[in-house]
């Protein structure tokens, strides 16, 4: 282990994943309006209609929400014809500290697993970036309204231990629509294999 420099951290994903501005002083309203225009154009190429006003509102909301967690990078998955984000991907790192001097796969598994709906699906895998843990689970989200049920959030988490750093690289994707479970898992598994430093 030599360094905690993650400045070259990257991944590859399709144009369906819109990169969110997670740092800096960029005006989110301006950014969202510009991105919404790009999405409407993409939707038209795909034979779908897009509403720039609705897309801009959702882009701003989703990007602002990601900013509150201060990830290294974040993306929203926008499916042609839909005006809300289908899934959010956040890329981050967990560094060793006084409490946890070494970030291990068992530590990641312990701290990133929830049992809201039984045992999560935990698998140790090998990615090009390093040894990793893959955790697929459903969580109960905090209640947002006084009445009604608490929403179920579906997540797919990867924690990777690159040999060149003491930090663990994390990729977390969350969504709410059950119909997306199978296709999104395949897409995210593919993205995880493109992580690079």
User: Which CATH superfamily includes the segment(s) 86-197?
Assistant: Mog1/PsbP, alpha/beta/alpha sandwich (3.40.1000.10)
The three state secondary structure string of 39-91 is HHHHHHHCCCCCCHHHHHHHHHHHHHHHHHHCCCEEEEECCCCCCCCCEEEEE
Q: pLDDT tens digits for the chain (197 residues)?
A: 344 667 788 899 999 999 999 988 899 999 999 999 999 999 999 999 999 999 999 999 999 999 999 999 999 999 999 999 999 999 999 999 988 899 999 999 999 998 878 789 999 999 999 999 999 999 987 766 566 667 889 999 999 999 989 999 999 999 999 999 999 999 999 999 999 98
CA pair distance 80, 43, nearest whole angstrom: 5
Which of these, 196, 197, 191, 180, lies nearest to 157 by C-alpha position?
A: 191
Q: Which helix (H) or strand (E) holds 175?
A: strand 168-175
DSSP bridge pairs for 140: 152
pTM as predicted: 0.92
CA pair distance 94, 165, nearest whole angstrom: 11
CA pair distance 63, 57, nearest whole angstrom: 10
Predicted confidence at residue 141, as pLDDT, reads: 75
- Domain positions in the chain are 10-80, 86-197
Predicted confidence at residue 140, as pLDDT, reads: 85
Distance from the Cα of residue 32 to its chain's centroid:
18
How do beta strands 152-161 and 168-175 pair?
A: antiparallel
């Amino acid at each position: 282990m030599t360094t905690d420099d993650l400045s070259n951290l990257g991944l590859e994903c399709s144009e369906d994943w819109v990169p969110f501005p997670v740092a800096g002083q960029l005006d989110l309203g301006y950014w969202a309006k510009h991105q919404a225009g790009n999405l409407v154009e993409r939707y038209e190429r795909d034979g779908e209609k897009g509403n720039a006003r609705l897309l801009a509102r959702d882009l701003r909301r989703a990007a602002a929400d990601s900013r509150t967690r201060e990830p290294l990078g974040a993306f929203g998955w926008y499916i042609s014809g839909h005006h809300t984000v289908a899934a959010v991907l956040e890329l981050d790192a967990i560094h060793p500290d006084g409490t946890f001097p070494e970030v291990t796969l068992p530590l990641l598994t312990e701290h990133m697993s929830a049992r809201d709906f039984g045992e999560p699906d935990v698998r140790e895998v090998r990615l090009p970036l390093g040894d990793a843990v893959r955790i697929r689970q459903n969580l109960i989200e905090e209640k947002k309204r006084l009445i009604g049920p608490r929403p179920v959030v579906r997540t797919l988490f990867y924690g990777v231990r690159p040999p060149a750093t003491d930090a663990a690289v994390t990729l977390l994707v969350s969504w709410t629509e059950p119909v997306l479970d199978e296709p999104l898992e395949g897409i995210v598994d593919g993205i995880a294999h493109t992580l690079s430093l």
